[in-house]
């Protein structure tokens, strides 16, 4: 029987430390003209990084990999949302996601930015080389290496426990 994957639950202070690890190498390579946030895990780390390094041209990419048994992990991505190529052409573009697990999402977005004429750089809070499908590819920037399933503070189920009686349920 396969053992369950280790889980790490991060605090906001942990996220701050990861951002602090990422900032020096990001600043060393020079300025970025654009940022592409990979939904959904991207918004908070992307916002923190964009503010810290002064990126104002922020775009979003939404990628889906069909869950078909026959395709498995080799399914082609479907881009549900992606910036117009004119918004990326000739721009040094930082692609931000929370984690590089299999690497499929970051790699797909990087390829699409490159085919749009942009100059892509990938950045994640956590890189899991033990799950990556790519032997010769890794994120350009990462805050930490892990072998765990990471739960970020914005992913915690806060529920309604502790709310006063009579407070309406959250929709």
- pLDDT per 10-residue tile (average), the chain, 171 residues: 76 97 97 93 90 96 74 70 96 94 86 97 92 81 94 80 50 43
User: Do residues 104 and 128 lie in contact, with contact meaning Cβ atoms separated by under 8 Å?
Assistant: no
Distance between CA atoms of residues 88 and 110, nearest Å:
11
- Which DSSP category does 152 fall into? -
Sorted by where each starts, the structural domains of the chain and their CATH numbers stand as: 7-67+75-155 (3.40.50.2020)
User: Do residues 19 and 51 lie in contact, with contact meaning Cβ atoms separated by under 8 Å?
Assistant: no
pTM of the model: 0.85
Distance between CA atoms of residues 145 and 125, nearest Å:
9
pLDDT at position 42, please?
Answer: 79
Mapping DSSP to helix (H, G, I), strand (E, B) and coil, where does residue 33 land?
coil
pLDDT at position 171, please?
Answer: 43
């Amino acid at each position: 029987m396969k053992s369950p994957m280790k889980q790490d639950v991060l605090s906001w202070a942990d996220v701050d430390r990861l951002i602090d690890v990422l900032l020096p190498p990001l600043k060393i390579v020079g300025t970025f003209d654009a940022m592409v946030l990979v939904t959904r895990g991207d918004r908070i780390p992307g916002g923190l990084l964009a503010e810290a390094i002064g990126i104002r041209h922020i775009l979003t990419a939404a990628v889906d990999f069909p869950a078909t048994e026959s395709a498995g992990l080799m399914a082609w991505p479907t881009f549900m949302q992606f910036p117009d190529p004119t918004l990326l052409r000739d721009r040094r573009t930082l692609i931000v996601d929370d984690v590089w697990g299999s690497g499929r999402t970051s790699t797909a977005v990087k390829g699409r930015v490159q085919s749009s004429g942009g100059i892509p750089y990938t950045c994640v809070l956590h890189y899991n080389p033990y799950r990556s499908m790519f032997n010769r590819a890794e994120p350009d920037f990462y805050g930490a290496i892990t072998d765990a399933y990471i739960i970020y503070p914005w992913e915690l189920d806060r529920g309604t426990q502790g709310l006063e009686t009579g407070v309406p349920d959250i929709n």
